[in-house]
Chains A and B, each alone.
Chain A
Amino acid sequence: GNSVTQMEGPVTLSEEAFLTINCTYTATGYPSLFWYVQYPGEGLQLLLKATKADDKGSNKGFEATYRKETTSFHLEKGSVQVSDSAVYFCALSGKGCAGGTSYGKLTFGQGTILTVHP
């Protein structure tokens, strides 16, 4: 079955530091890959996505590249801000059994807590 593995957290950084959160996946075929962000007390929001190999998703200074050869989708940001403090989830939406639809179901990683200090 499908699975997503994220780097262990929590991650604590100073403002303006470089951020990398690793994400690797296992899936059949060609899944779509997502990063969601959850701010305190809120639901998940889509941060970025990539739907095929070598696609780069980007939003709000965050980037992630779909690497099929390494089955990875690492999240990066060049200079984090205090307002980026949140929980980040990597997720995939793949094919169902025998290549059929998965009805859009998402498989999530365990989440990585990011805290940015001034």
Chain B
Amino acid sequence: NAGVTQTPKFRVLKTGQSMTLLCAQDMNHEYMYWYRQDPGMGLRLIHYSVGEGTTAKGEVPDGYNVSRLKKQNFLLGLESAAPSQTSVYFCASSSNSYSNQPQHFGDGTRLSIL
């Protein structure tokens, strides 16, 4: 009963390096989301996807890119990491766009940029 799986769980990068965070869900959900969690600021939406092959910007998209080539996977990329991107990243999915549907979250990726 995996639900939403994020890899890796931890990563340390140097400024300017690139990396990709992977999110996989096995619930056949259409909608997927990437958030970042920073102390005292709750979770903020980076990008989201309403279906395979689609992506859209959220509240804080700058410095990130995403892709949804397969329905079950949603990738978050950092092309040139900056210290301001040090954060905990959460992926979530939901079955539809109705506002009453809860989102299902992964356990997060803790990313440090030195």
Contacts and interface: CB of A to CB of B under 8 A. Distances in A.
A contacts with B: majority SS: loop
Contacts of A32: 99-100
Interface of B: 4, 31, 33, 40-45, 48, 50, 56, 58, 90, 92, 94, 96-108
A73 interface: no
A103 B107 contact: no
The winner among A44, A104, A109 for most chain B CB atoms within 10 A is A104
Nearest to A109: B42
Interface residues of A, number: 27
Nearest to A50: B100
A25 interface: no
Nearest to A108: B42
Interface stretch (A11-19, A77-85, A89-97): A89-97
Contacts of A31: 99
